Structure formats: structure tokens, C-alpha cells
């Protein structure tokens, strides 16, 4: 029997046997990851492509779990029919549940999970997400992010569990263990992509590069794309003692893939940092899995695509998220190898690493036929875990005169704010689309729905998104939901995190017609609340709770206790950003009333 097809043979032997049979073109195909709208199944077959991905919004039409499964299996069948039958590995950004899939369970974003301080719960969420992801034949998840967001102006702050490296390490490792299961070869296991290596959360405001030769998605209004993908100016000691800490835990937890970061370190793009990628990560730390670039990350290394590939591959990149022109990638790589600019040994090392993980996942043995039930996607048992996460992530920051819990004898409650009844706003970015959206973008329950269920039958409940109620209205309790609009990555970079004029006006309108004012904050980071705090009786940080925000109502009514504790320091003013241990914060890491 052919060794690489013998499931009883050691993986190292299977890899060695397969590699010896491969042409250079087949090896280069394995190093390519292509966005699903930029390739056909025929092209996967013809070019022997190693990976296809769905980024934010990379969905089939119509967007159903069944169509996701069919889409992925179509690509897998094409790969199975290549000369050597090497399966592809399909990747997706399932960063808070299988969030591109309509009907999947959407969990709180990482900043909310950090506030739970509950590694067992985070591990369970990793397991649930893997079940839903694997049910659509996706076996690679671009999560967990183990970023340590030091400057919360960063639009990816909500992808960070905490500003405490040890907490990030604990929760990131827990999620990875849940995702990858007891054995990667199990059909419910999904390989995680620990990201983004390294220092992505330590970049400085105003250092994001501009590259004329890269598609310019940046806005230059002084707000967006000002810190995301910027330069981390920390010295090596700080880089190791802060940003590298979660990767040590991830390696111990069995990390098999790491995604390289867009950010620079000391002026050099991480995709070209041979010292960190090869000498430190693969050498000193002994990482034996494979490294993948971020979207178009290789293109930022040089104006000439050839030069960028040579720099990146020689630095230690194993797979390139191309993600569009795979023909150009393969042809350029072929030329670089023929020129001697990239050695055959470096290609073999990269492909061996990729094939090893594919064998570990059992892709050669199961292909696409042995997969979990599609019924896992968005099932009630998973939504119940999401509800638990919503409740445990809520942090009570202020509670004057026991404003919370709301008493069952309350006669009238006003609810205001568009986010109180908007699934998209409560989920945030990376939900169905890259930037998220507003409205009923996926099944779920809003806080307003939860309040209508939790409130006593004798209580009058009035809702106005704008906070405009009938003249003379005076309720016992007013609940204002303030929501950041959905955003992702550098589109969420913000120079000022104070409440907007519209948010302040909403607070004032409802304050004028209620005895007790409760503010529930949906946000991907702490906001500057200092000037409005005296107007508010109770303040709850609910972060971005996901599809099951209705569960917050039980906490507000005291049916479930507040247990959440801040995993980020809460600044008094913008002057306390970025994070520094010696700041006198409004509320420190670990704060949370009960």
C-alpha cells in the first residue's frame, strides 16, 4: 500500500512519502490559500490548491448551513480528484461562533469573554464553535485572537480577551483546547489559528502604513486605519514579556497554526521578520505547525510582488493567504525557486508543515464524508451556552442606591436606544459580513425581547429607539442602551471614545422622564463615561453580547447575579490611553460590583 495513504503509518512517514511524489507545481499549490469567490472548484483541481477560505462575508447564496456544507464539499471533491488526491483545508473567520453563517450561534466577542474570567466556559465555547464549524465541513478556524490591546482606540480591541497577558494566555489556550478537542483527527475537531503573531495589540496611534501598490481600503480622515496594522514600538523585552506570553500557552495547548500579523515591529513588517518567525517561533520555541499570512499581508512587504514573496517565504511564511490571483502567486513562486531566490529546502519545509497538519486532522482518511450533523448549527443547547456567556460577561460598574436589580413590583419601565432591539448592533463586527450590520441580520433575541419576557405582567413597558416618550411621562425605571455601530479592524479605529452628542442627548431625554436611570453599554471597548456618570444610577458594560442578548434581562431583574469583572482598565479620560499600570483608572482590571 502507498505509504501516504496508509492511515496506520506514522504521520512523518506519510508526509515524507507524499512529498517525494510531488512536483514543484504541486508543492506551490499547497502553499496557496485562495478566497472562495476568487476560485472555482475546477481551478482547485487544476492547480492543486492547498486551501480555500471564507473571510468576513464569504458566504454562499443563499446563506444557509446546508449551502455552506455543499460549497466546502464541492471544493474538497475537486481536491480529491487531483493526481495525488491531496485534500484542501478550508478556513473561516469563526471568531465568535461560526459568525458568517446565517443561523449559527453568535457568542460575545472576546472582550466580553475576558470579563467572565471563566476558562472552562471559554473552552466550552471553543468546543461548540468547532461543532458548528465542522458541521459545515470547515476544519480550520481563524481564532483565537490572543492580542493584548494596550490602546483601546484600536478597532480590534474587542478581539482581545484582556490587557492582562496572563488572562489572555489562559483564555486563549482554553479556547484552542476546546476547538481542537481531544484529538485533531476527530471529525468534530477544528484546528485553531492563533493570531496575530506578534505585537498586534501594541501598535502606536498614527503609525499605520500606506502602500500605494496595495489596494487602498484605508480612509484618511484621521480616525480609521490609524493604529490597526501599525508599528509596535516596544523593545524586545516588552514584546516577550507582554505580547509573546499567550503564544507560549498556545504552544503548550497544541497550536498547529499561527497567523502572522500585519503590524510592524520596530519598523519592519512582521511578515518579513525572520528573527521572530524562524529564529524565535520555529527555532527557540519549537513550533512545528505552519505559519499563514493574513489577507494580502505578503503584498505589504515590497512594491514588487516577487520581492515580497521572497522576503516573506524566506522569513518563515509557509502558506500565503493570497487571496485573489493564485495564478500570479504560483508563477511568481516558480520563478523565485528557479532563480534560486527561494530554496527547494525552504519549500519542502513549508509544504511538510502544511501536510503534517492535514494528516493530523484526518483529512486524507475522512475527506469530506465523515462530518457532524448540520443540526448542531444554532441549536438550542448551544444558544443556552451563549446565554450563560452573555450573563457572565456583564459587568456592573455603578449601582447607586441599589438601582439594580429592578424590583418585581415596578409599575413602569421605559426602554430607549436602537441597540435595545437590534440583533446586528448587539453582535458587532464579524457577523454575517466583515463589518457586521444592523437589523435582523441573523436569528437571535434582543434585550427588549428579554425584558418583555422578564417583566411582571402588571408592569407597563414602553420602548422608543430615539427615547422620545409621550409628554408628561414619568416612569419608575428607564433603561438606555447605548451602542457603538458595528465595525471591524481598522474601520473601528477611533480617536475619541467619549459619548457622542446624540448619545448624550438620549441619556438626557430619558433621565428627564424616569426616577431611576440604568444605562446598558454595548461596545467593543471601554468608553469615556466620566462626565455623564452623575446622571446615571446604574451602569452595565454588556460589551458585544452576540445573538442572545435577551439573557441580560434576567441579570437586570436579579434572577441571575452579576459576576463579570473587568478584563480591561476603564479610563477616566482619553489621556489615560494607551494602558499604563501606573494610571489611576476610573475602574481597574478586576473591578465589578455584585
> Which residues are annotated as catalytic?
294, 489
Q: What share of the chain is helix, strand, coil (3-state, %, to 5)?
A: 40, 15, 45
Long-range CB contacts (< 8 A, 24+ apart) of 75-78?
75/36, 75/41, 75/44, 76/137, 76/367, 76/368, 77/41, 77/368, 78/41, 78/42, 78/44, 78/45
CA distance 89 to 76: 8
Answer yes or no: are the C-beta atoms of 318 and 353 closer than 8 Å: yes
Q: What is the Cα–Cα distance from 280 to 575, expressed in whole angstroms? A: 35
* Separation CA 21–CA 2 (nearest Å): 11
C-alpha of 560 from chain center: 28
Q: In what order do the strands lie in the sheet with 395-399?
A: 395-399, 538-543, 514-522, 475-483, 412-416, 460-464
Q: Report CA dihedral (275, 281, 283, 287) to the nearest 10 degrees.
A: -160
CA gap 322, 308 in Å, rounded: 12
Burial of 24 from C-beta contacts in 10 A (0-12 / 13-18 / 19+): middle
CB 535 within 8 A of CB 507: yes
Distances (CA, A) of 519 to 445, 494, 499, 516, 532: 19, 22, 12, 10, 10
Q: Would the CA dihedral through 262, 227, 307, 315 be positive or negative?
A: negative
Q: Are 553 and 454 in contact (CB under 8 A)?
A: yes
Name the β-bridge partners of 194: 258
Separation CA 413–CA 462 (nearest Å): 6
Asked if residue 249 lies in contact with residue 171, where contact means CB atoms within 8 angstroms, the answer is no
Answer whether 188's CB lies under 8 Å from 134's CB.
yes
Residues ≥6 apart with Cβ < 8 Å to 545: 108, 112, 390, 393, 394, 426, 427, 522, 551, 552
**Distance (Å, whole) CA 309 – CA 326:** 13
Rounded distance between C-alpha atoms, residue 380 and residue 443, angstroms: 12
Amino acid at each position: 500500500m502507498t505509504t501516504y495513504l496508509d492511515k496506520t503509518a506514522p504521520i512523518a512517514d506519510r508526509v515524507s512519502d507524499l512529498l517525494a511524489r510531488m512536483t514543484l507545481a504541486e508543492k506551490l499549490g499547497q502553499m496557496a490559500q485562495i478566497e472562495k469567490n476568487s476560485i472555482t472548484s475546477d481551478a482547485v483541481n487544476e492547480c492543486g490548491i492547498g486551501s480555500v477560505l471564507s473571510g468576513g462575508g464569504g458566504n454562499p447564496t443563499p446563506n444557509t448551513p446546508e449551502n455552506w456544507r455543499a460549497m466546502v464539499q464541492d471544493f474538497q471533491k475537486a481536491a480529491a480528484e487531483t493526481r495525488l488526491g491531496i485534500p484542501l483545508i478550508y478556513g473561516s473567520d469563526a471568531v465568535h461562533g461560526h459568525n458568517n453563517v446565517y443561523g449559527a450561534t453568535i457568542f460575545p466577542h472576546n472582550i466580553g469573554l475576558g470579563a467572565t474570567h471563566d476558562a472552562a466556559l471559554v473552552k466550552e465555547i471553543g468546543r461548540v464553535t468547532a461543532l458548528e464549524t465542522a458541521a459545515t465541513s470547515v476544519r480550520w478556524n481563524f481564532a483565537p485572537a490572543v492580542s493584548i490591546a494596550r490602546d483601546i482606540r484600536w478597532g480590534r480591541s474587542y478581539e482581545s480577551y484582556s490587557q492582562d497577558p496572563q488572562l489572555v494566555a489562559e483564555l486563549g489556550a482554553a479556547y484552542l483546547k476546546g476547538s481542537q478537542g481531544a484529538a485533531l483527527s476527530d471529525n468534530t475537531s477544528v484546528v485553531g489559528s492563533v493570531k496575530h503573531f506578534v505585537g498586534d495589540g501594541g501598535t502606536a496611534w498614527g503609525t499605520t502604513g500606506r502602500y500605494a501598490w496595495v489596494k487602498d481600503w484605508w480612509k484618511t480622515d484621521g480616525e480609521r486605519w490609524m493604529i490597526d496594522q501599525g508599528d509596535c514600538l516596544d523593545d524586545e523585552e516588552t514584546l516577550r514579556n507582554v505580547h509573546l506570553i499567550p503564544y507560549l500557552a498556545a504552544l503548550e495547548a497544541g497550536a498547529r497554526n499561527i497567523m502572522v500579523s500585519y503590524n510592524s515591529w520596530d519598523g519592519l513588517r512582521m511578515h518579513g521578520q525572520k528573527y521572530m518567525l524562524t529564529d524565535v517561533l520555529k527555532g527557540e520555541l519549537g513550533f512545528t505547525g505552519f505559519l499563514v499570512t493574513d489577507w494580502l499581508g505578503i503584498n505589504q512587504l515590497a512594491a514588487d510582488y516577487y520581492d515580497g514573496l521572497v522576503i516573506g517565504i524566506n522569513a518563515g511564511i509557509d502558506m500565503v493567504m493570497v487571496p485573489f490571483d493564485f495564478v500570479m502567486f504560483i508563477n511568481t513562486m516558480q520563478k523565485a525557486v528557479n532563480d534560486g531566490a527561494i530554496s527547494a529546502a525552504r519549500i519542502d519545509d513549508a509544504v511538510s508543515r502544511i501536510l503534517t497538519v492535514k494528516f493530523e486532522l484526518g483529512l486524507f482518511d475522512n475527506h469530506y464524508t465523515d462530518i457532524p450533523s448540520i443540526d448542531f448549527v444554532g441549536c438550542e443547547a448551544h444558544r443556552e451556552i451563549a446565554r450563560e456567556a452573555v450573563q457572565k460577561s456583564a459587568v456592573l460598574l455603578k449601582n447607586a442606591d441599589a438601582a439594580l436589580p429592578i424590583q418585581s413590583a415596578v409599575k413602569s419601565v421605559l426602554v430607549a436606544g436602537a441597540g435595545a432591539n437590534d440583533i446586528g448592533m448587539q453582535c458587532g463586527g464579524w457577523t454575517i459580513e466583515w463589518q457586521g450590520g444592523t437589523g435582523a441580520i441573523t436569528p437571535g433575541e434582543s434585550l427588549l425581547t428579554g425584558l418583555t419576557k422578564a417583566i411582571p405582567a402588571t408592569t407597563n413597558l414602553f420602548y422608543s429607539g430615539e427615547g422620545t416618550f409621550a409628554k408628561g411621562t414619568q416612569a419608575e425605571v428607564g433603561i438606555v442602551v447605548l451602542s457603538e455601530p458595528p465595525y471591524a479592524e481598522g474601520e473601528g479605529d477611533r480617536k475619541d471614545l467619549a459619548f457622542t452628542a446624540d448619545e448624550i442627548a438620549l441619556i438626557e431625554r430619558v433621565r428627564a422622564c424616569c426616577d431611576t436611570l440604568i444605562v446598558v453599554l454595548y461596545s467593543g471597548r471601554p468608553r469615556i463615561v466620566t462626565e455623564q456618570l452623575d446622571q446615571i444610577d446604574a451602569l452595565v458594560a454588556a460589551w458585544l453580547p452576540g445573538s442572545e442578548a435577551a439573557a441580560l434581562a434576567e441579570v437586570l431583574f436579579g434572577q441571575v447575579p452579576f459576576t463579570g469583572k473587568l478584563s480591561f482598565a476603564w479610563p477616566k479620560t482619553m489621556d489615560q490611553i494607551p494602558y499604563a499600570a501606573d494610571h489611576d483608572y476610573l475602574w481597574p482590571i478586576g473591578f465589578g460590583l455584585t
